Chains A and B, each alone.
Chain A
């Protein structure tokens, strides 16, 4: 069945989002042995928390479903969730990787029947909803989770809920004695598909993300628009739960800004244009989207998507980096700034402000192997020994399509390493 012992012919893929899954599957479908490790309790990464993809307005879970089916049907990939790389030693063709496996407290007996969740009382902020809702301490990350196993939040240990969850499980799937484990692997090549994280919007002081309830991030807005999300797909603003109909989108929230992120995050313009569709779909002619921008960076074929949005009378564009937000009456954020095209000063109230937050490498703040070469924003360029590769948004702020391209390329680079290792060993 699955490879029990990794060898220097094995490719390790770190990160189980769309890029990591792609890199793992593409290599495995070329006949290579792959280990895919993911820090969270489920594969799917950030895209699983998106409502739609631009430009087709299709559903990220659709592609996830296909990738999961590929995975279920391919015995060359071994998946390890709740696993983090703690160290890498050795060199190209011969790495030793130490993994730290966090306890899930639920074993493979789990049938996802949900009895444990029904039995417990305590709640935690839902990590798969950016904290916009609560979930029980025994929970399934989301409907597309893989593995389709529940997970117990570590806070349950030692509480009455732990016992209740265990008692509710008919399948002996709950193991409260699980401990953090350390595993060592030998691998030939490593693909770092560690993805991205949203820039901390609270650091953009004039926008008051930490002070004003109705200033949210673009990722939180994805959750609001998602029919599976905390509001059932309704665009309800946090302060009072009222429908937000007049929505401002602020571009370059953190990006293209030497006080925050030096780089342009590439995807945010398209993401905002996509989100104006959500407003349009929710309210028709009675909704209103205003996009505050410096340059609309809709690269290549996606231009027609921009053109269509420009023709929508409910969407307007203001060429301006918003200077500051103050809270007006009824909790309405009021945006202050100047439209630089011809110079027009504004102080405009909106129901809700969506900050198109920039992308930074998920690995910022995490120690990577010293051999890795990073750019000035921390994105992975390559490794000195050419045995480790970045893939997807770990290498640059990329959209899904380009991430998949990048991950496919990274898979081939990893294949080359194990191919050459095998050839060298064959020659011995």
Chain B
């Protein structure tokens, strides 16, 4: 273990890229040695070239250096060269952070040098509090994967994972595999020529799954309880008979699909009438017809049919589904073909407002037109039963007139409603009311619990957090699989409305993510976005006051509570954002290489000029994901900002502990800037809640500042996007100007 080895520190100061021209390198070396107390200090004219790197490598191997401070360019640059996995490392950013952003000219030599001096001090100070992370010692080896749901998505996920060499367990609540796909007569084509409905293929897939040597199937079963974490989940599978079996799995794919929107909620469109069916109802008629002419429930052959698209969807009134289910246009086209293929003389009309058949769906649309399906751009206002047929009243949007059509059968293209389990917002409200003693809430809680799918024993509720409209999706565009429950991935229409082709693609991706989760867990390292990170939160329980902030605020539900209300960390669920560390009022949570001390030491290492110097000092805590790169790119584009700021990157603003702010202000900083990602509905925080929590915490800091006799403006928060290199410089310059106007902090000299 690293801490058994004698710590030996070394600082390497580069004079390349103009650093040597603009800075007194010898002085930086002296600071590293005397103030930073580095055991070894070396300068190099071109540290990132092979000779420079070899010098560092030799020191590590021959001199026993365990801790390395590199004073050169940004931590984002030259990562291939400065790759020393066996030592703890800090980077003092003298290039992007100093010489590229401080104004040119000898007038600025003094402040430029002071800034560089401080960054070297900070690098050394941080280094001394760092340890090389050793990885989570509680690694787990379970690599099997649980798939909840045996429909097309679940079967695909299971089959693909099994084909990749992993053991799979499927839990399906029905008596047979296949889900909705079993109820379809045909499916939309996946491949060229996109001309005709195709066999669903579900029977073949179900058979391959059932006979696969690495897949076991529980039918008539549900998940009664899920506990544990990636690499060590324990799942209780309850059979209809009441029997319960236990499965130990490493990761979970939730492919619980959807239900159709209830047409009884659409009486104005004829929902409830005998000759009005939804798309699922039409599939049933097609299965009965078995390729022959389609007949209604009363046995009459259908000679005319109208499909009404967007029934109860794309609704702006708030009564029905607000979203579009994506698949229904192609589904109606497919169903219209059932009629045309069986009897080309059937009058078949698809009524739409926007016909949505993206990609090669356009060919499928053309094929239907070729078969004689009529497409009418119109908006139906009502469906009436007239005798034994239906009258569809609608506005023809092209011919701009109110008119009507008679049809033997009307098909409503209703949408997909996700089967995602318990909505955690509702759950948490009920739980806190129940804890307050409300009997009604306790009753509600047990009712809600019955609707749960995963029945997680997590502190934060029994299912995955839901996103808009009840889908169990992630919010990320670039990282669609990132759910807020590590090692549990959603696949198929439970995640977003989708067709079968997309669902199978999606399930294949989800299977990969599940595989990745078990592999990461077995190596004791983090999952996305800090993938590969070996650090993990360490808690000093003897100092804990059981305040529960960490367990409540963890965006990933990684922390449970034991019966004495102490936090129980599940490292495999943890994403290493540090939100718990930021939340902890008694500061007992830390990472080996990122802690209250690593940051605290840095900010205290800065030399604070006295109040007469006219040199304010501003601490910037910048999110390393977006704000820090933006600051870097300000350097790259040589955008000038004030040399009075000292920047410390943080994992997420959520990890900012308020002690850093009070420490900074106590030690004489004139102001603190917090730079993080956008929060709110369209949040861009990579840890979902981090920037929002930070903002909440900062809203409470005013009282503390008043208590210290400081103006509330001494702490300010900014939402910074990665492209904001110009804006961020302006933020800094404006804020420094504001502080100059306010005058120096009254705390100066007391620190």
Contact = CB atoms under 8 A, between A and B. Distances in A.
B515 A412 contact: yes
A213 interface: no
Given A263-B359, A296-B354, A405-B505, A301 B468 contact: yes
Contact of A62 (B73, B83, B398, B626): B626
A56 interface: yes
B362 A262 contact: yes
Contacts of B316: 307
Contacts of B476: 63
Interface stretch (B157-165, B573-581, B602-610): B157-165
A295 B361 CA distance: 13
Interface string B487-521: 00000000011100010011011011101100110
B5 interface: no
B480 A58 contact: no
Nearest to B193: A376
Main secondary structure of the interface of B (DSSP, over half): loop
Interface stretch (A8-16, A69-77, A98-106): A69-77
A295 B193 contact: no
Nearest to B18: A113
A375 B195 CA distance: 13
B477 A415 contact: no
B532 interface: yes
A58 B477 contact: yes
Interface stretch (A156-164, A237-245, A335-343): A335-343
Contacts of B78: 111, 148
B722 interface: yes
Contact of B357 (A264, A375, A408): A264
B722 A65 contact: yes
A301 B321 CA distance: 10
A57 interface: yes
Contacts of A56: 475, 477, 682, 684
Interface in A1-38: 1, 18, 26, 29-31
A83 interface: no
A409 B478 contact: no
B617 interface: no
A252 B160 CA distance: 36
Contacts, number: 232
Contacts of A256: 362
Contacts of A113: 16-18
A420 B162 CA distance: 11
Contact of B531 (A29, A265, A402): A29
Contact of B479 (A343, A396, A404): A404
Nearest to B509: A408
Contacts of A31: 519
A294 B588 CA distance: 60
B532 to A, nearest CB: 5
Interface in B150-202: 160, 163-165, 191-193
Given A300-B498, A412-B515, A404 B480 contact: yes
A283 B612 CA distance: 45
B484 interface: no
Nearest to A23: B512
B480 A401 contact: yes
A256 B682 CA distance: 32
Interface in B499-557: 502, 505-506, 508-509, 511-513, 515-516, 519-520, 528-529, 531-532
A416 B162 CA distance: 9
B677 to A, nearest CB: 8
A109 interface: yes
B233 interface: no
Contacts of A314: none
B358 interface: yes
A266 B358 contact: yes
B479 A30 contact: no
A412 B511 contact: yes
Contacts of B642: none
B481 interface: yes
Given A26-B516, A109-B49, A301 B323 contact: yes
A59 interface: yes
B496 A263 contact: no
Given A65-B626, A298-B324, A401-B477, A58 B682 contact: yes
B553 to A, nearest CB: 22
Contact of B512 (A65, A72, A409): A409
A143 interface: yes
Given A1-B83, A297-B354, A112 B723 contact: no
A63 B515 contact: no
B678 A73 contact: no
B394 interface: no
Interface string A41-65: 0000000000001011111111101
B613 interface: no
Contacts of A144: 633
Contacts of A299: 324, 326, 356, 358
Contacts of B352: 295
B372 to A, nearest CB: 19
A411 B473 CA distance: 21
B478 A227 contact: no
Given A56-B682, A300-B323, A412-B160, A63 B477 contact: yes
Contacts of A65: 625-626, 629, 722
A109 B501 CA distance: 47
A211 interface: no
Interface in B59-89: 73, 77-80, 83
A303 B515 CA distance: 33
B465 to A, nearest CB: 16
A303 B480 CA distance: 18
A419 B529 contact: no
B516 A30 contact: yes
A266 B725 contact: no
A228 interface: yes
Contacts of B509: 405-406, 408-409, 412
B258 to A, nearest CB: 12
A413 interface: yes
Contacts of B322: 303-304, 307
Nearest to A108: B80
A57 B682 contact: yes
A253 to B, nearest CB: 15
B729 interface: no
A108 B629 CA distance: 22
Most buried by A among B324, B362, B471: B362
Contacts of B505: 405-406, 409
Contacts of A109: 46, 49
A171 interface: yes
Nearest to B628: A65
A112 B16 CA distance: 11
A85 interface: no
Nearest to B415: A300
Closest 10 CB pairs of A and B: A63-B478, A408-B509, A342-B400, A409-B508, A266-B358, A412-B512, A300-B326, A295-B354, A72-B79, A375-B192
Given A342-B398, A405-B506, 20 more contacts: A18-B478, A29-B516, A29-B520, A30-B512, A63-B476, A63-B477, A63-B479, A113-B17, A143-B725, A148-B77, A171-B16, A227-B723, A266-B358, A301-B496, A340-B398, A341-B397, A397-B359, A400-B477, A404-B477, A406-B509
22 contacts: A29-B520, A61-B722, A66-B625, A67-B478, A108-B80, A143-B637, A264-B362, A300-B498, A301-B471, A301-B497, A303-B314, A303-B324, A304-B323, A341-B398, A342-B400, A396-B360, A405-B481, A405-B502, A405-B506, A412-B160, A412-B509, A415-B164
